């Protein structure tokens, strides 16, 4: 009876560990596709405006990070507006600097 109980506890522990690892994977990768899609959409929009070609875009959990240099402040604001207007974006962090 003791061996059966040990096997039961080990099996239960493995089942719980497997289930928890699946939940953790789903939580971290569930937004990966969305982030890639957001980033691709923003980059496609930036390609239409040559002065934004130097702006770097990174998306993490629906937050878009913009960095790089532009020649005028209005260009950086335009980049942020495009990112903010993109579907599924929750927030934009704009660290674009002006090249003088």
CB 67 within 8 A of CB 38: no
> Would you say 98 and 76 are in contact if contact means Cβ atoms under 8 Å apart?
yes
Residues with Cβ within 8 Å of 68's Cβ and at least 6 positions away in sequence, in order, are 54, 55, 56, 96, 97
The answer for residues whose C-beta is within 8 angstroms of residue 34's C-beta and 6 or more apart is 62, 88
pTM equals 0.68
pLDDT in tens, the chain (100 residues): 566 565 555 554 555 655 555 544 444 555 567 999 999 999 999 999 999 988 999 999 999 999 999 999 899 999 999 999 999 999 999 999 998 7
pLDDT at 23: 46
């Amino acid at each position: 009876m003791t061996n059966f109980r040990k096997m039961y506890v080990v099996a239960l522990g493995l089942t719980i560990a497997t289930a928890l690892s699946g939940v953790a994977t789903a939580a971290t990768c569930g937004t990966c596709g969305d982030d890639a899609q957001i980033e691709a959409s923003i980059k496609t929009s930036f390609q239409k405006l040559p002065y934004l070609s130097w702006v770097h875009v990174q998306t993490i959990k629906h937050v878009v990070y913009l960095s790089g240099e532009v020649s005028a402040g209005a260009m950086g604001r335009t980049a942020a507006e495009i990112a903010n207007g993109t579907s599924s974006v929750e927030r934009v962090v704009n660290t674009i600097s002006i090249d003088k």
